[in-house]
Structure 1
Amino acid sequence: MLAAYPFGPGNPFGIGYPIRQAADASDMEQPMIRQSDSELSAATDFQLLLTQLTGLRRAMEQAAESDDELGRSLYSALHHRMQDCDEQLARVIGHVEHNLLQQETIASALHESEHRYRSLYDNNPSMYFTLSPDGLILSVNNYGAEQLGYLPQHLIGRSVLAVFRPEDHETVLAQIGVCTESLDKLFEWEIQKIRKDGTAFWVKERAQGILDRTGRTLVLVVCEDVTARRVTEDIVRESEERWKTLFEHAGVGIAQWSLGGQFLCVNPCLCKTLGFTSTAMQSLTFQELTHPDDLPVNLRYLDELTAGMVASFSTEQRCRRSDDTWIWVSLTVSLARTASGAPAYFIAVVEDVSERKRAEDALRASELLLQRFVSEAPVGLVILDSQRRLLTANKAFCRLTGHAEQDLLGRTYDLYTHPDDLAPNLKLTDEFYRGIREDYTLEKRYIRKTGQVIWVSVKATGVGLPNHPGPLLLAAVQDITDQKRATEERERFSQDLHDNILQSLYAVGMQLEASKLASGKSPRRAKIHASQAIDQLNRLVSEVRHFIALLNRGGSAKMDLREALRQLVSAFSTAGHRPPELEIEDGVLDLITTEQAEQLLNIAREALSNSVRHAKATHRSVRLSQLGASGMRMQVCDDGIGFVPKLKRKQGHGLVNMAARAKKIGARLRLTSKPDQGTCITVDLSQTES
């Protein structure tokens, strides 16, 4: 009997199949219940199994109602299929439970991952921005907002241009546009951002355009503060520029050469010094340009430098120029090292010292010549230390003093200086060593070893000698005994000729002029003046003879100063003028020596002569008075027109001779005068000073 078993919609045997056909189908290799694969979810497999179990249960119920063999056989087959289906259902349920457990684990891990990501995002020491294509800030991490002085919520929703300088806005929008046009490509740039307080800082930005899951275009930006690096780079750049400027424009040669001696870099000054181009220099080595005699020493210095035994070294050597001539240079070399401390290259500073070397050679030759000159010089030459001890003495000085060199060295000039001249000499030497004077000239007397007294001229100045600290005194000594005598005689002859004879002739002329004026009015008075002129001429003849006799004898005779002054004032009496007034205090002449009296008389004669010729005075006076206990004062005054002493005037021999005569006797001469108030010559003589 053929019957149909209409199964439900999920019947795997197919709706309307005959039972046999269904049974046959059970023997097919294709399984009755499909296994889940990667395309079916666990829920679909579970629903399918339930549907199949329902169909099997209904089929088994229909098979149980049949009493034939076919029904029983079908029931047994369906029972086995039911068991298989139960086992698959158990596996599916276990798989579903496993999936649910995995989903819980994944959800928990995802939550934890999101928490870690958010913490990393907010606290990472980099600034993160998410921007829209038009520059709107969609998100920013806490660190980024904090660096700009904002809270994240204060930036989100604002344009990113708010944190850039206005002059950079166009550049920023262009950079965002580049990122959106080239998605997934990373771009980098450096730019300045502006904080909320207005301060600027440099950042390095890395930006990339992406599409999110919804297909929306975003720009991800990561910023790093590079202000410190930029400042360092600026410092380094400025340092490099300064070094380059120094290198290119230095007034000395600078070179870098390798450890093997190859020139790596040379500046223009070194090229000029050696006559090579920079390219030519870089094809040469240090060894090729160093004189063979100097090379071993330099190589040893370089080895010590490389070994770290010295930090640098300086030397002088000869270098070869491009024209194959040799020049002297001062060389200072140091070693540049790598970051690890390994030797990298040498740096050298080279200065041309050829001129100095030539000067030193010339000086050396000159010193040898000078030594010979000093030794053989016709004048005495000595060098004294700060204790006045002789360090050197030449042959002429030994002859001058009569002492052998070994007797003089280490001794002071007290040995041969006249006792009366020692004090002024000590004063001058002391002033030199105290820095009051740089040099001095002195005329003094030496006592030779034989006891003979000679006059010498000493010209002393400072000098320096190697290995002798402090200032030294170089003295040139010349015998001026004959010159001194001749000079004194010449000066005395000149002064006496001017002050005695010439002034006497002038006085005679005044008497003759007075006689001429009085001859028409008073013959008697004219005769008196003529007689006085004759008397003065007779005295002048006597003075000339006396002067000649003194020259022959070389000395001075004792004179009566009172009588000489009386005759002097009488000689200056003229027509219309009474003779000058003469006043001499008692005892004052006893304080004056013959030499002093002679000089005072000549000073008075010169002063009266000047007054008569220039002063237009009506009254003149000569006064000698005592000054203190042992001094005296002579004043020659008039009431003439006077003058201003400080004004520059043509100076004759008169004032010069008066000053010289006063100095010669140790007196002080002072000139006082005012316009229309007369003139006064004052000579103060202190016997202690003289």
Structure 2
Amino acid sequence: MFDLVSVTDMKGNFIFLSASCKILNYDLDSLIGKNVLELVHPKDLPEISLRFSDLLSRFDDNQKVEYRYRCADGTYIWLETVGRFIRDDKGNPKEILFSSRDITERKFAEEKLVKEATRRHLLMEQSRDGIVILDQTGQVVESNRRFADMLNYPFESMNRLKVSDWEFLYPPDRLIEMINSVDEKGDHFETRHRRRDGSVYDVAISTNAAWFDEQKLIFCICRDITERKQAEEALRESEARFRSVYDHTAVGLVHVSLDLHIISANKAYHDMLGYKENDLIGRHLKEITHPDVIDENFQNQAKLASGEIDHYSMEKKFIHKNGQTVHAILDANLIRDALGNPTYFLGSVVNITERIQAAAEREKIQAQLTQAQKLESIGSLAGGIAHDFNNLLFPIVGLSEMMLDDFPPGSPEHSDAQQIFEAGKRGRALVHQILSFSRQSEYQRIPVHIQTILKEVFKLCRTTIPAEIPITQDIQIDCRPVMADPTQIHQIAMNLITNAFHAVEPTGGTISIQLKEILYHQKDTTADHLASGTYAMLSVSDTGTGIDPAIMNKIFDPYFTTKGKGRGTGLGLATVYGIVKAYGGDIRVDSEPGKGACFHVCLPVLETSEAKDIEKQPQPLPTGTEHILLVDDEKPIVQLEKQMLERLGYRTTCFSNSVDALAAFEMDPSQFDLVITDMHMPNLTGAHLAEKMIAVKPALPVIVCTGFSESINREKAAAMGIRGLLMKPVGLMDLARKIREVLDSKSG
């Protein structure tokens, strides 16, 4: 009786599954069309794929196979499956019938038997050493005959013994502590054991812990070292004095033969170069000497051996076992025998790698600090320029927007006003880019059509990139929008195109820009950090020199640049990488030296339903009749804002001096329903003005207007009790909506 019955086409795609397949916990309809191999355990897949291919190629059915199959919850069960062909009237195979049986319990039982066999094998009866397995109480679980012979106990009686029955040096409570401290890493120590007749012998023990059937067992290998201990005793005292200095000094010590092979080296020397103790014995010095210093080092050795010098000191570079460079100070002497004949070289080595690395790191940090200070200065200048430019744009945007409302659509005047308004908005976007560069504007994610941004970028690039360098475009016009900040999308495109220009600038070449939607499945690629779905892929390629594979893993590191002095900050690709990752996207690069490079940026698109939901429909201007206190130190802006507010139906009281505005407010706070204030004003900033007014009238709604948000953002404003924040230049619609948002939330 088979548990599971399924039918696939000749490619292995499910076309039928019996109800019994529900033991896999899948919705059976969801499996229709999936390939039978998709749910096979990765470790079993190569064998099952081969068997499936064999089935199809030789039409040899009725073969049984065993493998693990994934259930809906991610667990696996073992199946035994037989595949048979379903044939048409002519006898040709047209489908495959798979009959499967759940053999999970049987496989678990087999696995348990394997464990038992493994445990038995560990006893290694043929070993010359005694082997004993203890539980956590010190009770013997099993031992080999050699261990029984060492203790002079009958082998059959060993399971009745505890470790305390033969241990001579350690008391029972200490033995239990030692047993409990043993882990998988193991331990090695020497002690003394007591035989059945009471005699004592020396033993070396290697221990480690292992788990069998949820029980911790201690595996001990015991070697009788009585003869060795007796031989060593005569040398112990003199050797101990020498080893105390040789092994415990922090300085690396090495004995080298006259033909430059290592005779011996202490632990510090081995540790410094990443080797286990004695692993360097017999190796030639050239194996661990850096090529940069090998000639100087060996020339000094030759002079020392010839007697030309009696000592030398040098800064030497070694090669660590992992391939890294170790910097050290080497002092070398020639040791002679009683007759004055050279016998070997003695070297003392002090590791100065950390000191060298620290100096290099200080230089790197200083360079980064200098670069950061330059960027900070540029950012401050950009912020100041943007602030003044915003004030110039304010009347252009505001007045043109009101003119659009005054002139009838389709009239020449309305068309002219529309052009002025659009130019003002482009100027506002440019200011936003400047502020983004100086990190003085807030990023706001909105639905963005990348193809629209690319039009602006292309216009800008054509004014800065020489005409003899072609820029080709392949833009999918109906590419769906992504949720992003337009300025950051602009920044991504500009950085990638600028890098492409620098790549083709020396020798000429072509820059290509492509935008298209792609459907991504995790199983289609190794880049499994992207979720499956639809992405807008922006690709910027060039036919330049390409990227050296040696630096490919560094190109997204901050401050890393291959451009000459004054040509790059090393922040472009790092910035692009950070933006893309923040949006849940990915950036990849394909490059071959001499064949150019192509950067692919993938950003998740908004689904059609989402895009429709966020499309803005034309709405009438929200109006009101409340009394608004308006404060801005720029009189033209005050006049414009007053005109805009009165057009919206509001009553206004205006001040170009924040101190005067505060005085007027304090005389009669109740007459004002809302305060709109500029942020950056002399004497009393907008934030301080709002703070003082709210202290007088806690429920007072306040809106702050600012050209850049270095000193205030939405979080800071909310913490101060400020209800709204508007970025200059303020349009009529933005102003109208924000006022109603703040006032209506107050009344609600």
The TM-score range, normalised by the shorter chain, is: under 0.3
Name the structure, 1 or 2, with higher relative contact order (CA <8 Å, separation 6+).
2
- TM-score with structure 2 setting the length: 0.22
TM-score (norm 1): 0.23
Of structures 1 and 2, the larger Rg is shown by 1
